[in-house]
Structure 1
Amino acid sequence: MPIPAHNRRASRAVAATLSAAGLIALAAAPAAFGDETAPELVIGGIEPVNGVKPGSSFDLSATVANKGTRAAEKVWVSYGVTRGLDFAEVPSNCRTQQVRSYDEMPERWIAVCAFDQVVEPGTVYTPERPLRVEALDRALNDELRVNVWDVDPGADENGTQPVAGTAPAVKLVEGQAGSEGTARVVNVPVSSVNTADYRVTGAALKGSVGDMVKMKVKFINAGPAWILTKQGERSVSVMITPPAGTSVVKRGQFCQAKGKAYVCGMRSLNEGSQETYTFELKIDKRVANAKGQVALSTEARPFDPNKANDKADITLDVTGGEPTGSTGGSANVSGGSAGGLSTAGDDGTTTNGGTLAETGSSTLPITGAAAAAVATGAGMLFIVRRRRTQSPS
């Protein structure tokens, strides 16, 4: 049975942001349109999953119960997993689609399973065969979301065309009483044993006094894991200090001035992603042994044990002019655009929580006001949101 497309506004009303604070059960669904006899379906039997090894799989079991007073003639159970996970096998009564990031929702896979059978009030049911979930090579800290419906939720219009599963169909069977849940939608964390290697690269500059030179430095997540940035959490930023004796004519995209340094964000923390920060500098004078630096911010990153590549030098070879003895930071003159940035709070945490995959665009619009607001503190996050209307690839 095809899953029809549905209105994005309707989907957002039931698609709250995936949470990372352990097991979270959202409010139970109210009776539809004030009908006190409507079915009241709830999900249960789901626990956090820890210590998964990339390449392995685990079984996902769930229960469905009807706390209402009227039977549900048919039910749909929706399973959503973030991009470090995938469905190893999908029953033929389920359809899957890949949904790209939009708003605060991260990229994810969704499987919607239709059960064409009656769910009676006061009875607990469970799929006769659990859904198999696989941890991919990029898995680290992922999330799982399970939802139950008494109407077809349809397909997410930001996703790929839904595809039917090929494994044998499953049905609901009566389960053990007392295992019923209390909410219509449940989010749980899935943690894997994995690492990610954040790296920065420096630059070697050369020119004469009065010259304009370009400085290009990079941030790279060399993987193998991707990083899910969660709402309100601190995340990595890149601190760039140009060499002494230079002034910044144009700062890099996603960068904001902080004293003599610049704090820079990135579009993506996916495995293999990278961000290049291009600055235009003017060589004002020759300073002996002038050297700048690019370095990662200092928040804890237990998933990244390799600290040797967390900082790199920016060297400057100046010809002409008499050298001075100072090796201090450069003058902080910034004439360029900082690009689109997430709004950050005074404690260095993001208020939008979005981490979006690279699109190749030089500027990416974001939702909300104060797009260029800057927070104090080394752990601030500037991550650009993906264009909400971006088509999935």
Structure 2
Amino acid sequence: MFKTSSGLRVLGRAGGAIGALCLVALGAMPAASAAPVSAASADDPSAGVVLGRMASVDGVEPGGTVQVPVGFTNTGTEALRKVWLTYTLSHGLARPDRAEPPSNCTYSTIAVVDGESDRTEVICEFDRTVRPGVVHAPGRQLAFPVRDSASYEVVAVKAEIAGHPYPGDNFTPEVPGTAPAVEPAERPDATPAPAGSAENSRWDVADVPVTAVNTADFRVTGARLRGGVGDTVPLTVSFTDAGPGWVQRRDRADAARIVVKMPSGTTVTRADPYCHSTGSGEYVCGVDFPWVEEGYERSYAFRLRIDKAVPGARGSVGLIGASRPFDTDAGNDEVGIRLDVTGTAKASGGGTANSGAGTALPLVGAAAATLALGAGAVLVVRRRASGR
């Protein structure tokens, strides 16, 4: 979610369990300083641009396209000579093909930075007089491809009048579109924002939620261990987002957490650095970021000393934490760790490659049903008074 000093404008209510976890668009970066190009000064309190209210887009299909109905009002007292619109697309929305964006738009990809997932940014320059008090909208709304990994997405829209926007850090060179240019057209049928209502004289920002019909299958794997008393054996377990959707947590916590319970009669001599002990042979492990892309896999390595033989000793690996309404297959959310103790006690530890190689237990079947993520989605348009 964007970091902002202003609040949220709530246009609808969440329904069902889906609101517990959602994907969010990534923060926009500050605009580069440039001389104002409008007839009214961008620093003039009487100048301003305000985006219209935009409904969420629900039930989109992976492989299709999505359009966001953007409109804006010049709330100042003088005409503007130029307006820029920036669309920031979350991971599940692909950058458009070069033949798709108008020639007055550019696009670039922003790679993973500051713990945020990758995203695409499309910047359109409208070099046309924009009269005050009238709603304007692009003559043709842009269409963005929906990836197979799409689930909870956001298109962040920014309108500004203070100069060409800066696309952000760690971005690829901007690529111009080749389709015919699109200019804003007046919409006399639409209700304009009141004069002087702009919270900032230079820009306005809104988030448009987009939800896709998709699932994401979180899985864990366990292991089967073998060794004698006194041996130290390796244990490797793992977490996977088997897709097809990706997931990002709204609360910025780890996208997934797993708990590893060690078999009785063992002591952990070395734990994975992404895991911490909760006592009694139990460890909680996280992932690198608050988001996981489709196909993400993370392994956790431990070393266990077999202290004594306990008949039927078993441990487990399981998912814990926030609910996962997107995951319709609970059969692979918890698996076992089996320990077979062989031979007699040894005078000292050590073990070999033959004494403790862990093998992954078979996974239970893949997701068997499709969850319509669009139902009851949160309809939120967030406004902020700070720069990108």
Q: TM-score when scaled to structure 2?
A: 0.72
Mark the CA change 1:229 to 1:156 in structure 2 (over 3 Å): closer, same or farther.
same
Say whether 1:125 aligns with 2:136: yes
- Give deviations 1:150-196, integer Å, cap 9, x for gaps: 11112323111111112211001111341549660001211111011
Mark the CA change 1:22 to 1:122 in structure 2 (over 3 Å): closer, same or farther.
closer
Q: Counterparts of 2:317 and 2:324 in 1: how far apart (Å)? A: 18
Say whether 1:158 aligns with 2:198: no
Q: Counterparts of 2:316 and 2:4 in 1: how far apart (Å)? A: 40
2:322 to 285, 288, 299: 299
Mark the CA change 1:275 to 1:137 in structure 2 (over 3 Å): closer, same or farther.
same
Q: Which residue of 2 aligns with 1:266?
A: 287
Mark the CA change 1:220 to 1:104 in structure 2 (over 3 Å): closer, same or farther.
closer
Q: Which is worse superposed, 302-311 or 223-232?
A: 223-232
Mark the CA change 1:15 to 1:72 in structure 2 (over 3 Å): closer, same or farther.
farther
- The answer as to whether partners of 1:195 and 1:303 remain within 8 angstroms in 2 is yes
- Give deviations 1:308-343, integer Å, cap 9, x for gaps: 111111111112348xxxxxxxxxxxxxxxxxxxxx
Q: Counterparts of 2:104 and 2:299 in 1: how far apart (Å)? A: 45
Output the amino acid matched with 1:313: G
Mark the CA change 1:32 to 1:317 in structure 2 (over 3 Å): closer, same or farther.
farther
2:235 to 207, 210, 215: 215
Say whether 1:228 aligns with 2:248: yes
What stretches of structure 1 of length at least 5 have no aligned partner?
1-13, 323-393
Correspondences of 1:12-91 after superposition (within 5 Å): 35-37=44-46, 39-88=47-96, 89-91=100-102
Mark the CA change 1:76 to 1:298 in structure 2 (over 3 Å): closer, same or farther.
closer
TM superposition outliers: structure 1 runs of 4+ over 6 Å = 19-22
Output the amino acid matched with 1:248: V
SS at match of 1:252: coil
- Give deviations 1:14-65, integer Å, cap 9, x for gaps: 9759x999669x9xx9x9785334x301111421111111112232221121
Q: Counterparts of 2:9 and 2:330 in 1: how far apart (Å)? A: 27
- The answer as to whether partners of 1:83 and 1:109 remain within 8 angstroms in 2 is yes
Q: Measure how far apart 1:242 and its partner are.
A: 1.1
- The answer as to whether partners of 1:235 and 1:299 remain within 8 angstroms in 2 is no
Q: Counterparts of 2:103 and 2:308 in 1: how far apart (Å)? A: 71
What stretches of structure 2 of length at least 5 have no aligned partner?
13-26, 32-39, 346-388
Higher relative contact order (CA 8 A, sep 6+): 2
Q: Which residue of 1 aligns with 2:216?
A: 196
- Give deviations 1:237-286, integer Å, cap 9, x for gaps: 11101111111111113111123311111125110010000011111111
Mark the CA change 1:255 to 1:199 in structure 2 (over 3 Å): closer, same or farther.
same
Output the amino acid matched with 2:49: L
- The answer as to whether partners of 2:217 and 2:328 remain within 8 angstroms in 1 is yes
Q: TM-score when scaled to structure 1?
A: 0.71
Q: Which residue of 1 aligns with 2:348?
A: none
1:287 to 306, 310, 319: 310
Q: Counterparts of 2:293 and 2:115 in 1: how far apart (Å)? A: 16
Q: Share of identical aligned residues, percent? A: 38
Q: Which is worse superposed, 87-96 or 164-173?
A: 87-96
Output the amino acid matched with 2:45: E
Output the amino acid matched with 1:219: F
> Computing the radius of gyration over CA atoms, which structure comes out larger, 1 or 2?
2
- The answer as to whether partners of 1:209 and 1:283 remain within 8 angstroms in 2 is yes
